[in-house]
């Protein structure tokens, strides 16, 4: 998969309050970069806790469920667009289908 906006992940883990997210976000990025997800079922095979919400959004639990990562996915182009990364409290304040 081609992942757009890795910078968003880096900026998040570089923040002093989220430095513990670097290893799990790097691990997710490495795995997703090598993946060939053509359908939601392909994602579910690797990430059983991934949630599929409207508007082609997928929510991943990161770092032992401490953080949430929202991506928009275009299966036909094999592209992921990082839309949001944050804590559960931050996630609760967004409209996941719009970010």
State the pTM of this model. Answer: 0.93
Partnered with residue 60 across adjacent β-strands are 69
C-beta separation of 73 from 54 below 8 A: no
Residue 59 resides in a domain: yes
Phi and psi, residue 46, nearest 5°:
-95, -30
pLDDT of residue 47: 94
Parent domain of 62? 2-92
- In DSSP notation, 21-56 reads GHHHHHHHHHHHHH----SHHHHHHH-TT-EEETTT
Per-residue pLDDT tens over the stretch 26-66? 999 999 999 999 999 999 999 999 999 989 999 999 999 99
Residue 34 resides in a domain: yes
Average pLDDT for residues 66-72, to the nearest whole number?
Answer: 97
Residue 41 resides in a domain: yes
Residue 99 resides in a domain: no
- The vertex-68 CA angle with 67 and 71, nearest 5°, equals 145
């Amino acid at each position: 998969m081609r992942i757009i906006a890795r910078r968003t992940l880096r900026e998040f883990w570089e923040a002093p309050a989220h430095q513990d997210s670097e290893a799990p976000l790097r691990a997710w990025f490495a795995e997703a970069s090598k993946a060939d997800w053509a359908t939601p079922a392909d994602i579910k095979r690797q990430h059983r806790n991934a949630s599929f919400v409207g508007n082609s959004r997928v929510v991943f639990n990161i770092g032992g469920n401490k953080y949430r990562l929202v991506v928009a996915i275009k299966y036909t182009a094999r592209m992921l667009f990082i839309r949001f990364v944050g804590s559960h409290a931050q996630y609760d304040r967004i409209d996941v289908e719009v970010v």
